[in-house]
Amino acid sequence: MTGYLGSYATLGLLLLAGVLFLAVAFTANRVLRPARPADPPGKRASYECGLDPVGGDWAQMQIRYYVYAYLYVLFAVEAVFLFPWAVIFDRPGFGLVTVVEMAIFVGVLALGLLYAWRRDILRWT
């Protein structure tokens, strides 16, 4: 498939193959599934772990758990950006500008950590 519309034809065939695969999978599921699946006792209960629920359904959650999750995501993203940069840093073309950019990036994250530390957000009670 060459020419101007060749890549579009390839894309169209790929999309058609994907739709066809989904149609075959759903059809096979409908044909092979049991007509009347077993319904064990308690299957449609709202709580299935084996214990009866006790008390109300409202519970208060402290905000510090969300802050810990947010800080974890923040530093995980830092690692995602920092490790590839460290791997290719020794290649030609990376100079002082690249070091300064990464220092600014790490500095902003360090300011966020310092802010969290000064506000005692990181203290577990």
Q: What are the tens digits of pLDDT across the range 75-118? A: 888 788 887 777 777 777 777 777 888 889 889 888 888 888 88
Could you tell me where the DSSP H helices lie in the chain? Answer: 6-32, 64-88, 96-118
Question: CB of 121 within 8 A of CB of 64?
Answer: yes
Q: What are the tens digits of pLDDT across the range 8-40? A: 888 899 999 999 999 999 999 999 987 776 777
Q: How far apart are CA 67 and CA 116, in angstroms?
A: 9
**Residue with the larger pLDDT of the pair 42 and 69:** 69
| pTM summary value | 0.42
Question: CB of 94 within 8 A of CB of 87?
Answer: no
pLDDT tier, 45 (very low <50, low <70, confident <90, very high otherwise): low
Q: How far apart are CA 16 and CA 20, in angstroms?
A: 6
Q: What is the CA radius of gyration of the chain?
A: 27
